Amino acid sequence: MPIYMRQYIELCRSCSMDISTIGNMLRLVIPSLQREAVELRQAVQSLPVVYLCRRVLEEDAELLESAINVGLRRCRPQPVQRELFAA
């Protein structure tokens, strides 16, 4: 897995939850990583099952997709109970 993908995962885990970071993640980082995940999946599908590198790419794709999903959940926190009834 490329270093920038690992750095994204670490950045997401240590996120400060400030508005500019969240905005950048939602507009720039996550969409580009989603494209990378799609390309990884396509690469996996193009390799025969007997190739050992196929499993490595498959694991990378799974890890990246999982990190993207976690990032999306973290960048879109659910409202607190009292905010739901504030109207």
Residue 85 is assigned to a structural domain of this protein: no
Nearest Cα residue to 10 out of 79, 71, 54, 85: 71
Q: Is residue 84 part of a domain?
A: no
pTM of the complete model: 0.74
Query: Could you read off the pLDDT of 62-73 as tens digits, one per residue?
Result: 989 998 998 888
Total number of domains constituting the chain: 1
| Inside any domain, residue 72 | yes
Q: Is residue 22 part of a domain?
A: yes
58 occurs within a structural domain = yes
pLDDT, mean over the chain: 83
Q: Is residue 17 part of a domain?
A: yes
Residues spanned by the domain of 39: 3-76
pLDDT for 13: 76
- Give pLDDT tens digits for 45-58: 998 888 888 988 89
Q: What residue type is assigned to position 51 of the chain?
A: Y
Range 69-78 average pLDDT: 82
CA 55 from centroid of its chain's CA atoms: 19
**Is 81 a member of any domain?**
no
pLDDT of residue 24: 84
